Amino acid sequence: MTYSVQVDENLIALTWFGLPSLAGVKELERAFERVAISQRRKIAFATLIHAGATPEKASVEVRDAVATLLRRFAHRLCATVIIYEAPGFKAMTTRTIIATINLLSRIRFPSEVHSKLDRGVAWIVQQLGADAPDDVQRRLLAMLSAAAPESVGADSRP
């Protein structure tokens, strides 16, 4: 598997380790459905793309499925952040393309792309405001940092 989806209260974290897949998007959709039912607070959604991942090779089907999912839950989203820490021109170009797609999609919630995990998490925590659970920054950092390709799957604590 090339992804990890984790849930903690109103926090959803997706980590891509390789090629983004429809299986990952389907698991992400199930996570959103659980959180939307179990939580009244706005949802924060953070995506971490590992340096070895290949987001630029994601199929049109996968990109469309993610866009559809975000539109479906837009009314529940506080903000989204994508964090791609890989160095170099390819990573910079990928971050720019993601940011441009977000801008052109006219999403109804704040969304940013960051090159550093701590900065991306700090930004989304700020967006959560009163909807932030206790110790939110530590929890999000743990969700995004702890996942490893060997332990892929869903950990749900809605």
Q: How deeply is 89 buried, as exposed, middle or buried, from its count of CB atoms within 10 A (0-12, 13-18, 19+)?
A: exposed
pLDDT of the residue at 101: 59
- The verdict on residue 101 lying in a domain is yes
pLDDT of the residue at 134: 95
- The verdict on residue 153 lying in a domain is no
* CATH for 138: 3.30.750
- The verdict on residue 126 lying in a domain is yes
Number of domains observed in the structure of the chain: 1
pLDDT of the residue at 95: 60
- The verdict on residue 14 lying in a domain is yes
pLDDT of the residue at 153: 43
The structure tokens 């598997």 sit at: 1
- The verdict on residue 152 lying in a domain is no
pLDDT of the residue at 97: 64
- The verdict on residue 20 lying in a domain is yes
Ranges of beta strands (E only) in 24-116 are: 43-49, 77-84, 111-114
- The verdict on residue 90 lying in a domain is yes
pLDDT of the residue at 24: 94
pLDDT of the residue at 100: 60
Nearest to 49 by CA among 7, 22, 84, 92: 84
Predicted TM-score (pTM) of this structure: 0.86
**Average pLDDT for runs of 10 along the chain of length 158:** 92 93 96 97 94 84 89 93 79 66 67 90 96 95 72 41
Structural domain boundaries, residue 15: 3-147
- The verdict on residue 35 lying in a domain is yes
